[in-house]
Amino acid sequence: MEKIRKLARENQRKAREIIAELDIEGAWKTIGAEPRLVGSLRMGLLTKHRDIDFHIYSEPVDLAESFRAVARLAAHPAVEKIECTNLLHTKEACVEWHARYRDASGERWQIDMIHIRKGSRYDGYFERMADRISAVLTEPQRDTILRLKYETPDDEHIMGVEYYRAVIQDGVDTYARFAEWRKRNPVTGIVHWMP
């Protein structure tokens, strides 16, 4: 277990270095938006899947301004690719940005930045979810989540909330039980759960 904890600590340290190196928060603040860290890094549950998640809020969400903020990140030589999905005219009321970053050791990182209209349906929801999970999470549950994430095959895509719900709500403690739990609890979209 110590090997997994060490990997988690190291990847979380690297993630924070990447945030600072790219000045992700500063890029969004230049357009008057408010960036907030969400996801596994916020909760200290980032393990081997190298991803960094931000939700960014402004009112309105101006697409041209959103592009201007991301252009600052795209100028960095370690940023290899950026994709955009415009969901401003959906109930999500956002623009999804997905950047791929290659660190000095050659490892690829996914940086997801969701630019959300302030006051819309998901304003603050995932921050509250992360803070609630952090508040109730025990150390044995943390270790279980880190271990399950570590044991997940690299080509398997599993949402973080699936691990958290399975372990915290239903006491899942092995990867085999987690696989069975997922069959009984299929994800069909955004998961609205918090402990």
Q: Could you read off the pLDDT of 9-32 as tens digits, one per residue?
A: 999 999 999 999 999 999 999 999
Percent pLDDT > 90 in the chain is 92
The pair phi, psi for residue 67, each rounded to 5°, is -60, -35
Q: What is the pLDDT of residue 192?
A: 84
Give the three-state DSSP class for 168.
helix
The pair phi, psi for residue 120, each rounded to 5°, is -80, 180
Structural contact between residues 112 and 42, judged by C-beta atoms closer than 8 angstroms: no
Q: Which domains does the chain have, with CATH numbers?
A: 2-121 (3.30.460.10), 137-184 (no CATH)
Q: Which of 70, 42, 67 is nearest to 126 (CA)?
A: 42
The residue count for the chain: 195
Query: DSSP letter at 169?
Result: I
Q: What is the pLDDT of residue 108?
A: 96
Over the Cα atoms of the chain, what is R_g?
A: 17
Q: What is the pLDDT of residue 168?
A: 98
Q: Which of 133, 115, 116, 126 is nearest to 73 (CA)?
A: 115
What does the alpha-carbon distance between residue 53 and residue 38 come to, in Å, rounded to a whole number?
5
**Which positions of the chain have pLDDT values less than 50?**
none
Structural contact between residues 110 and 122, judged by C-beta atoms closer than 8 angstroms: no
Stated pTM of the model: 0.92
CA angle 69, 70, 74 (to 5 degrees): 130
Give how far the C-alpha of residue 86 lies from the chain's centroid of Cα atoms, to the nearest Å. Answer: 19
What does the alpha-carbon distance between residue 157 and residue 20 come to, in Å, rounded to a whole number?
27
